[in-house]
């Protein structure tokens, strides 16, 4: 009897876990392009708030990597949209310093209170 009860409890816990919502990011990078100039890199794209809360003061952080994959520098810039409501999208247009040998970059995100956000589709992306 105890074995049957124990098996039923284990089965119900496993089944409950199977129906939990998969964790996703707070921010989804929908599209991004990077164009290298003489002394600047222009990065344009769109983000979506995939969380259930408004994100205040969204700042994107860009890790620029060398051909061997090592991070050369990290630069940050705010998204123009001051408050990004749940489910909404916002474009971003950044002009950042050009790290000379960088070939790729990854995107991460922070709130105005410096809380790290989970990012889906954050790269790496090639620099044209």
Q: What percent of the chain has pLDDT over 90?
A: 73
Position 6 pLDDT exceeds 70: no
Enclosing domain of residue 70: 26-126
Average pLDDT value for residue range 6-29: 61
Average pLDDT value for residue range 34-60: 95
pLDDT at 25: 85
| Reduced DSSP (H G I as helix, E B as strand, rest coil) percent helix, strand, coil of the chain, to 5 | 15, 50, 40
Q: What is the DSSP letter of 22?
A: P
Average pLDDT value for residue range 87-103: 93
Count of the separate structural domains present in the chain: 1
Q: The CATH number of the domain where 30 resides is what?
A: 2.60.40.10
H helix or E strand, kind and range, residue 75:
strand 71-78
- Residue 37 covered by a domain: yes
pLDDT at 19: 45
Q: How far apart (Å, rounded) are the C-alpha atoms in residues 83 and 102? A: 31
């Amino acid at each position: 009897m105890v074995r049957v009860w124990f098996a039923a409890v284990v089965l119900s816990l496993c089944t409950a876990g199977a129906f939990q919502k998969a964790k996703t990011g707070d921010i989804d990078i929908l599209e991004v392009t990077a164009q290298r100039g003489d002394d600047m890199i222009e990065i344009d794209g769109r983000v979506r708030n995939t969380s259930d809360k408004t994100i205040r003061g969204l700042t994107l952080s860009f890790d620029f990597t060398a051909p061997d994959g090592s991070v050369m520098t990290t630069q940050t810039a705010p998204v123009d949209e001051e408050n990004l409501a749940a489910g909404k999208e916002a474009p971003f247009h950044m002009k950042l310093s050009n790290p000379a040998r960088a070939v790729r970059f990854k995107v991460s995100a922070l709130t105005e209170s410096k809380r790290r956000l989970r990012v889906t589709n954050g790269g790496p992306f090639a620099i044209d």
